[in-house]
Structure 1
Amino acid sequence: MDPRVELAALTGRIAYHVVKERITKPRPTNLRAVPPSPDHLTDEWLTLALCDGVRGARVLRHDLGGRDDGTSSRRRLTITYNEAGTAAGLPTQLFTKSGPTFKTRLVSAAAGLSRIEANFYAQVRPGLDIEAPPTRYSAYDPVSNRQLLIVDDLAATEGAVFGTVLTRTLTREQAEDVVDTLASLHVAFWEKPLRKMYGSWLWNSYDFMATLNVTIGAAARILSGFERGRDVIPARLYDRRHEVPDAMMRSLEINISGPQTMLHSDVHPGNWYVTRDGRMGLCDWQCVVQGGWARDIAYALASGLPPADRRAWERDLVDRHGKRLAEAGIAAPSPEDAFLAYRQQMPHAMFMWLGTLGRHWAQPDYQPHDIVMESVRRICVAADDLETLDAINERPVLAQA
């Protein structure tokens, strides 16, 4: 089917279900039914979701915090258990994500974000040994496109401190921990048959972007972002803005041509947290794809470090990732090839924030404007420094598996 026809059908189906939910106010009674949002939860349903395996445990009460909307709707959830649940140490401070509104659900469904994140937390996260929120409940309904995710509220359970590109400046040690965390993710899934292991929801990086080219008009969003962000974008890069959409797809052809692993794909500062004991943790797994490692590292360093620190540290940090691969017995690329791959993979980070800045009026307001502008500035400065558009035309990096 023509992707545009599929998008029109998806839009109509989501509109139908959202209106129906507002009228019927469904209250699911079993775990096969995905609640549309935390507002539809009951103590009985939460007992099924949270008390499984604990004899006699029941949820007596639940309380919801305020709602924060972006690409999804986020709310805190506080649980009160009976004596059996309390004695078992069942989680009381939780965090939820859902898509209760037409806009949030359409954007998440059209880009596959809700399906990806629900499957990641249900299938992958329980066996993944990195600092990330533990799964309590995760499900997606492909008919209504409902998603509900329940994880621990890490601010309460681990003293986690979240930040943004404006409020956190990574130390060298923290930047190294970011690289180590991503390397642990990449090593865990290096060259594994991920689609056979987890299913068709796990796209590769090229196919994910090709879908966004249709569903949100990615090229137009990028060029709109260039216009709206012109004041913070290096003039040399702005003058070549019309090359960027095609360069992005070429960079993704390179990305899927070498060794493949699992990528987080949205590693900006707002998706990292610092635990009570100083570890860097990673949340918001709705853009997970299969691809080459450099895409994550380029995005993390360009968005997470001020330009001066990035320039001073980036070669060492890229080398550090290669050393972590080698320590795991993986034949890592040479330092020269690794740095070329890093330079070549900057367009994904550019799209994520230029596309946010250049969003269509029908799309949700994903992030505060000042955060968007600083993210655009850092990433575009990095792309200009590293001559990314020219690097993409250099020989592809094909590291040994």
Structure 2
Amino acid sequence: MPTTITRQSPAQPKVTVPATLEEALDRAWLSQALADVSGGAAVTSVEQVEVIRTVATKVRFAVTFSGSEKRHGFCLKGLLDVDEMTARGGPTCVLEADFYSKVAPTIPDMRVPECVSAVIDREAQQAVIIMRDLITHGARFCSALEPFSADEALQSLTELSKLHARSGFLGGADWIRPRAAELSRMTYVTPEMLQELLDGPRGDNLSPHVRDARRLVAAMKELAARDGQRRQFMIHGDAHAGNIFRTAEGAGLIDWQLLQRGGWAVDLAYHLNAVLPTQVAERDERQLLREYLAMMRGHGLEMPDENEAWSQYREAAIYGFYLWSITRRVDPQITVQFTDRLGKAVTRHESHALLGVV
């Protein structure tokens, strides 16, 4: 069985969610968190391999268990050593743990990391997940700024189609929320704040009409309204290059903190225009849309005809542009590139006009 495919639910040990890197790599804590993997054997050694800090921390580490000298590589993800506000957690932490616990086992052919343990505190809205270390098995994680070719984008579209095709899971899964609708109603970034962000470097190469916060907010509200009336799919919601990995078997998806229900076009327009350089997207996106529609029909789903699908895709470009326009806690270089690519997609597709925003 390939180590990159999740086929069963991770253990959910009743242990405290660690708040620091030191706590997360404590041998006694790991012995409990990994008891399902080790058969109850204690962790005898821990070696920190790599620490990657963004909002959440990812730490690659290796352990040995009592009775064996074999090293086992893992990657833990959680909010470690963060400020007081971030340490309060939030629904996205638990959402990702629930994806690996509840959703991934139902899509065994979708390539995702194998999660072996999910430690969840629902009351505090805190969670950490422990996955097999894909890098030790030859995987390579793409960087957020890595440009994709059309063929590479087709590989990741294949994985997204597997997720979308299992959208029957949404029945009774109210915990998977309509994120686009919720974003359109959020108030923590005011129009004035958004305009200030768009007036900065991220909007330098965009027209005044596209970097107009009032028009963007109105377009996002209209997109959310239309999207909510369409068939709902289970979508990734944040499939940029930094959330893709590659193995000899193909591409895979990580980072499920924005898992949501919404129109398929939201995922497609965001993904293609985030990973493809603008010139490549202009040339190849319509053909990639055709390929995606064929995949979905191959999964047994009815999809709109190409013209209607193209119209939905063009409207949906607003989602990714809005998401990155309001982003504040990411490397500015990444924010500028994504806002620029997605803003140019909005310009090219006349998304505002399609949504009736003048």
* Class of the TM-score when normalised by the shorter of the 2 chains: 0.7 to 0.9
What is the SS of the residue equivalent to 1:256? Answer: helix
Q: Note if contact 1:56-1:84 (Cα within 8 Å) is conserved in structure 2.
A: no
| Deviation (angstroms), 1:230 | 2.9
Q: Note if contact 1:93-1:157 (Cα within 8 Å) is conserved in structure 2.
A: no
Which position in structure 2 is the counterpart of 1:48? Answer: 32
- Report the residue type matching 1:163 in the other structure: S
Which position in structure 1 is the counterpart of 2:272? Answer: 301
Which position in structure 2 is the counterpart of 1:36? Answer: 19
What is the SS of the residue equivalent to 2:199? Answer: helix
Which position in structure 1 is the counterpart of 2:148? Answer: 170
Q: CA RMSD in A?
A: 2.3
- Alignment pair present for 1:117 and 2:96: yes
C-alpha distance in structure 2 between counterparts of 1:55 and 1:230, whole Å: 54
What is the SS of the residue equivalent to 2:128? Answer: strand
TM-score by length of 2: 0.87
C-alpha distance in structure 2 between counterparts of 1:135 and 1:77, whole Å: 14
Which position in structure 1 is the counterpart of 2:3? Answer: none
- Report the residue type matching 1:194 in the other structure: L
**More helix as a share of residues:** 1
| Deviation (angstroms), 1:82 | 2.9
Which position in structure 2 is the counterpart of 1:104? Answer: 86
- Report the residue type matching 1:52 in the other structure: D
| Deviation (angstroms), 1:377 | 0.9
| Deviation (angstroms), 1:45 | 3.0
Which position in structure 2 is the counterpart of 1:6? Answer: none
1:65-104 paired onto structure 2 within 5 Å: 65=49, 67-83=51-67, 86=70, 92-100=72-80, 101=82, 102-104=84-86
1:153-192 paired onto structure 2 within 5 Å: 153-165=133-145, 168-189=146-167, 192=168
- Alignment pair present for 1:230 and 2:203: yes
- Report the residue type matching 1:115 in the other structure: V
Which runs of 5 or more residues in structure 1 are unaligned?
Answer: 1-29, 360-364, 395-401
CA shift in 2, pair 1:149/1:218, >3 Å: farther
Which position in structure 1 is the counterpart of 2:117? Answer: 137
Farther-moved stretch of structure 1 (334-343 vs 97-106): 97-106
C-alpha distance in structure 1 between counterparts of 2:218 and 2:191, whole Å: 8
- Alignment pair present for 1:288 and 2:259: yes
C-alpha distance in structure 2 between counterparts of 1:133 and 1:46, whole Å: 19
C-alpha distance in structure 1 between counterparts of 2:318 and 2:236, whole Å: 16
Q: Note if contact 2:210-2:216 (Cα within 8 Å) is conserved in structure 1.
A: no
C-alpha distance in structure 2 between counterparts of 1:254 and 1:279, whole Å: 34
Farther-moved stretch of structure 1 (47-56 vs 229-238): 47-56
- Report the residue type matching 1:104 in the other structure: T
Q: Note if contact 2:79-2:87 (Cα within 8 Å) is conserved in structure 1.
A: yes
CA shift in 2, pair 1:82/1:127, >3 Å: farther
Which position in structure 1 is the counterpart of 2:338? Answer: 375
TM-score by length of 1: 0.78
CA shift in 2, pair 1:171/1:278, >3 Å: farther
CA shift in 2, pair 1:354/1:76, >3 Å: same
Which runs of 5 or more residues in structure 2 are unaligned?
Answer: 1-12
| Deviation (angstroms), 1:56 | 5.9
Which position in structure 2 is the counterpart of 1:194? Answer: 170
Farther-moved stretch of structure 1 (344-353 vs 292-301): 344-353
1:2-41 paired onto structure 2 within 5 Å: 31-41=14-24
Q: Note if contact 2:235-2:264 (Cα within 8 Å) is conserved in structure 1.
A: yes
C-alpha distance in structure 2 between counterparts of 1:177 and 1:75, whole Å: 27
Which position in structure 2 is the counterpart of 1:244? Answer: 216
- Alignment pair present for 1:148 and 2:111: no
| Deviation (angstroms), 1:124 | 1.4
C-alpha distance in structure 1 between counterparts of 2:190 and 2:116, whole Å: 34
Which position in structure 1 is the counterpart of 2:356? Answer: 393
CA shift in 2, pair 1:262/1:220, >3 Å: farther
| Deviation (angstroms), 1:320 | 1.3
CA shift in 2, pair 1:55/1:378, >3 Å: closer
| Deviation (angstroms), 1:219 | 4.2
| Deviation (angstroms), 1:389 | 0.5
Percent of matched pairs sharing the same residue: 21
Q: Note if contact 1:258-1:292 (Cα within 8 Å) is conserved in structure 2.
A: yes
| Deviation (angstroms), 1:177 | 1.0
| Deviation (angstroms), 1:255 | 1.5
C-alpha distance in structure 2 between counterparts of 1:321 and 1:219, whole Å: 35
C-alpha distance in structure 1 between counterparts of 2:308 and 2:56, whole Å: 37
